[in-house]
Amino acid sequence: MKNWKYALVGMVFGLALTKGEAISWYRIQEMFRFESFHMFGIFMTAIPTGALTLWLLRKTNAKTFEGEPLVVPQKKYHHGIIIGSLIFGFGWALTGACPGPLYAQIGAGFSVVIVGLLAALAGTWTFGRFQRFLPD
């Protein structure tokens, strides 16, 4: 039952993605063509908001609501960061969706995106299947 609170946070996140039009195929085309500030505005406010609040949490030695020390996410370099992200960028231009918006687009009434989500699962599975043949 304790997981339901994450559904609530996800709903607010999904609502912001949707009402902010970040799940719009039109907006993604516009972004990649640098024809509007809108999507860049979202990134340029989301990231500093996250960075500033994380900095404050660290500065004040904040604990989780359950009193555990905070573990700030770390990301390691591997070549897949570049190769994989380029491939992901191609897919983002086609679908107008990164993984979060795939879910939100389905909710927003575009039921055919279920096929896009299944294709994304197939992509993830295929990567797993062939991972050992690919440069890390």
Binders of other proteins among residues 67 to 106 (CB under 8 A) are 68, 70-78, 80-100, 102-106
Write the CA distances from 32 to 27, 77, 84, integer angstroms. Answer: 9, 25, 18
Check residue 61 for interaction with other proteins (CB under 8 A): no
Coil, strand, or helix at residue 39? helix
Q: Least distance in Å: CB of 61 to other proteins?
A: 13
Which of 41, 59, 61, 133 binds other proteins (CB under 8 A)? It is: 41
Q: Rounded to whole angstroms, how far apart are CA atoms 82 and 115?
A: 27
Query: What token pair was written down for 41?
Result: 């505005």
Check residue 59 for interaction with other proteins (CB under 8 A): no
**In contact, 27 and 21? CB cutoff 8 Å:** yes
Check residue 111 for interaction with other proteins (CB under 8 A): yes
Check residue 60 for interaction with other proteins (CB under 8 A): no
